[in-house]
Structure 1
Amino acid sequence: MEFDLNRLLRPHIATLKPYSSARDEYSGKEGIFLDANENPFGSITEDTFNRYPDPYQKDLKARIGEIKGVDSSRIFLGNGSDEAIDLLFRAFCRPGVDNVILLPPTYGMYEVSAGINDVATIKVPLTANFQLDIPAIQAAFTPHSKILFICSPNNPSGNKLNREDIRTLISSFEGLVVVDEAYIDFSDEPSFISELDRYPNLLVMQTFSKAWGLASLRLGMAYASVEIVAILNKIKPPYNVSGLTQSKVLEALQDLSSMHQMTANILSAREHLREGLLKLPSVHKIHPSHANFLLVNIDRPKETYDELVRHKIIVRDRSKVTLCEGCLRITVGTPAENHQLLEVLSQITP
């Protein structure tokens, strides 16, 4: 399949003249800055936030590129992965005309962003064991299908999807294939970032919200071709990632060992939590997980959820989600939090 990016791109985006910020015209770090109507006297906090941040996060991308083994020109950074998702709709999907392919159960923001942008969704459920139904997905493709979203490890099921099946879909789909790897740090599966050169229609999303423990800073990453990243940069808000976020994430990236240790701790806690849950008579099945959560088939999920809330233990009731009937999604907490959860669940009568 020969991938034609211009065929996907909305025509008015191709000719759009992007907003030119003061930091586009001068990207140096030193000088007397009288160009952006900033307050020259500093901030009313101990830190200095009176200057606009780097709109393209060059230092941060350079460090991420070193760690991930990818050139910084192939990295887009957004206000969470949700910003990248929304920008993809704006760039490639014509409202009321085009559609995207979703594979439920999956991350809910794909459908929300589609709705906001007036883009139709074609839903092809995963198989009973939460894998890709290749014939059904390919049969769903239409001439107006612009984006296929694949979440692996998948949310809310937690499992990784078959890698060869993903490759098959990337090769056979004429639109963009987004592989959302928000939970990749908890998996033994290698990232699809290493396959960007092989597939020009591939975009890989990752996040600092999970393994890095930086959810409040709101930073998502998208890896793609230089051309796709340039389009996202063209239509994003000028200062979409705050200076505080950039500096704090750059600081975190200097300490990879701490992230790896936290990830190892979560994986260990996940196994202990799994073993504890399996001892409960109300638990029927725990689905395989390559994420920092477990999808648990349990008696009376709605009533169990409500009882946990009364003990101020908050999980997610997924019992009404496609293929997740009878299930709660439980995030792995600290050992103390997991112990308290198990104590309360053991007291709930099946």
Structure 2
Amino acid sequence: MIDDILALARANVRELTPYQSARRLGGNGDVWLNANEYPEAPQFALTAQTFNRYPECQPATVVARYAAYAGLSPSQVLVSRGADEGIELLIRAFCEPGRDAVLYCPPTYGMYGVSAETFGVERRTVPAKRDWQLDLPAIEAALDGVKLIYICSPNNPTGNLVDPQAIRAVLEMARGKAIVAVDEAYIEFCPQATVTGWLAEYPHLAVLRTLSKAFALAGLRCGFTLANAPLIALLMKVIAPYPLSTPVADIAAQALSERGIATMRERVAGLLANRAELMDALAGCACVEQVFASESNYVLARFTDSANVFKSLWDQGIILRDQNKQPGLAGCLRITVGTREECRRVIDALKALPAVSANTMTSPSKEPM
């Protein structure tokens, strides 16, 4: 019977390798530094009680407050179930399965490829250069048939900003051909780098945002697509009728109040201080080969024996994210910036490990990609 059910599934779904989210990977830790979450839970109280009614498709208060926060008009804002739904909506609205392609530049966020494959849309990759900047000539050469381009800046998992002039170059290449979606999930950690101010110049630009990171609401599942009104109107045609539940809209509106935004900015300042301390301490660990610059709430580092480091910390209840299977990230682990105490736990555990030759063979880590 199981074989019969599998035979009924779409072929591309049978072959699909799902995205390995932090929660799907599991673990029994007490220091969770593998999902780029804020380490402490904010406190909110529900004010809405109209659970007998369907919610608004686009909660007016949430849309208006996010528009004000982003410096846009409400007609330029779409709210969805996390930025992940925004990624999918763009594919649904603009890509013909079996004909069009999406393009992205690994190492980067894995959901671009998974979402495309789920919808039967070709995944086309142009690896980033060694400095993790865009390979513009290679992108231009690969654009035939591409309808949608994803650029993550700050990039996950590397933490670097993509050169804004390179993003402009891609936007110019894509005029009349493709939508360019700039994923700004981590933009609150470097707000000066946002491209939302470019929307007036580029009708084919979309910007993805979320409340999961700096707003400390990963469990809320609330994200935004920012674009010009005609693009938003197209996405409205393919979005679910009630994408946000009433409690989600209620809490999101509170988070986007003046007080909520001020609290978020205080939270970011604290994390940036912790990040600086963590990076300095990592550089002094014998098992660390390199610490990469970061404009986000996580740090990528290369280790002399990353599999052993990952397992040793895993066994101590400190859960990191293994990036070895990402192109160009051999030996790399990603560490979410936690509380000062959590960062100290990481450093203490790392300093107890000896420096090991990169050629030393160890068993693979427990965490697949």
TM-score normalised by structure 1 residue count: 0.85
Q: Which position in structure 1 is the counterpart of 2:69?
A: 67
**Contact 2:116-2:122 within 8 A present in 1 as well:** yes
Letter of the aligned partner of 1:180 in structure 2? D
- From 100, 103, 115, the equivalent of 2:102 is 100
Q: How does 1:24-63 map to 2 (within 5 A)?
A: 47-63=49-65
**Residue 121 of structure 2 is aligned to residue 116 of structure 1:** no
CA apart distance, 1:189: 3.3
Distance 1:281 1:190 in 2: 34
Give the CA RMSD over aligned residues: 1.3
Matched letter for residue 161 of structure 1: V
Tell whether 2:252 aligns with 1:236. no
Q: Work out whether 1:164 is the aligned partner of 2:165.
A: yes
Distance 1:253 1:240 in 2: 18
Amino acid at match of 1:166: I
Deviation at 1:224, TM superposition (A): 0.7
Distance 1:108 1:190 in 2: 22
Q: In the alignment, is the contact (CA less than 8 A) between 2:286 and 2:354 conserved in 1?
A: no
Tell me which residue corresponds to 1:285: 290
Cα distance in 2 for residues equivalent to 1:184 and 1:328: 22
Structure 2 residue corresponding to 1:347, chosen from 349, 352, 364? 352
Aligned counterpart, 2:143: 141
- Aligned partner letter, 2:156: N
The one of 256, 264, 273 equivalent to 1:268 is: 273
**Deviating runs (4+, > 3 A) in structure 1?**
45-48
Cα separation, 2, equivalents of 1:46 and 1:168: 46
**Unmatched tracts of structure 1, length 5 or more:** 1-44
Deviates more, 1:147-156 or 1:183-192: 183-192
Which range moved further: 54-63 or 203-212?
Answer: 54-63
For 1:188 and 1:65, how far apart are their aligned partners in 2? 15
> Quick one: which of 290, 298, 320 aligns to 2:303?
298
* Secondary structure at the counterpart of residue 76 of structure 1: strand
Determine helix, strand or coil for the equivalent of 2:193.
coil
Give the match's secondary structure for 2:99.
coil
Q: Deviations over 1:222-241 (max 9, x none)?
A: 10111111111111111011
Aligned pair count reads 305
Larger Rg: 1
What residue number does 2:251 align with?
A: 248
Structure 1: how far apart are the matches of 2:69 and 2:150? 25
- Of 82, 85, 109 in structure 2, the residue corresponding to residue 83 of structure 1 is 85
**1: distance between equivalents of 2:178 and 2:302?**
36
Letter paired with 2:283: L
Amino acid at match of 1:69: G
Q: What is the identity, as a one-letter code, of the residue corresponding to 1:344? A: A
Question: Is the 2:48–2:246 contact (alpha carbons within 8 Å) kept by the matching residues of 1?
Answer: no
Identity of aligned residues (%): 38
**Who is 2:41 aligned against?**
none
Q: Decide which of 201, 205, 209 is 1:206's aligned counterpart.
A: 209
1:225 paired with 2:195, answer: no
How many angstroms apart in 1 are the aligned matches of 2:128 and 2:238?
33
> Offset of 1:190 from its aligned partner?
2.9
Taking the aligned partners of 1:52 and 1:106, their CA distance within structure 2 comes to 36
Q: C-alpha offsets along residues 48-71 of structure 1, whole Å, 9 cap, x if unaligned?
A: 422211111111111111121101
Partner of 1:152: 153
1:196 aligns with: 199
The residue matched to 2:313 in structure 1 has which SS? helix
Displacement, 1:302?
A: 1.4
2:21 — aligned with what?
A: none
Q: Identify if the C-alpha distance between structure 1 residues 46 and 60 changes in structure 2 by more than 3 Å, giving closer, same or farther.
A: closer
Contact 2:211 2:222 in 1 (8 A): yes
Amino acid at match of 1:57: P
CA offsets, 1:165-213, max 9 Å, x none? Answer: 1001101112000000011111153311111010001000111000000
The TM-score, its normalising length taken from structure 2, stands at 0.81
Structure 1 SS opposite 2:138:
helix
SS in 2 for 1:106: coil
**1:216 is aligned to 2:228:** no
Q: Displacement, 1:343?
A: 0.8
1:311 and 1:46 mapped to 2: Cα distance? 42
Distance across 2 between alignment mates of 1:189 and 1:299: 35
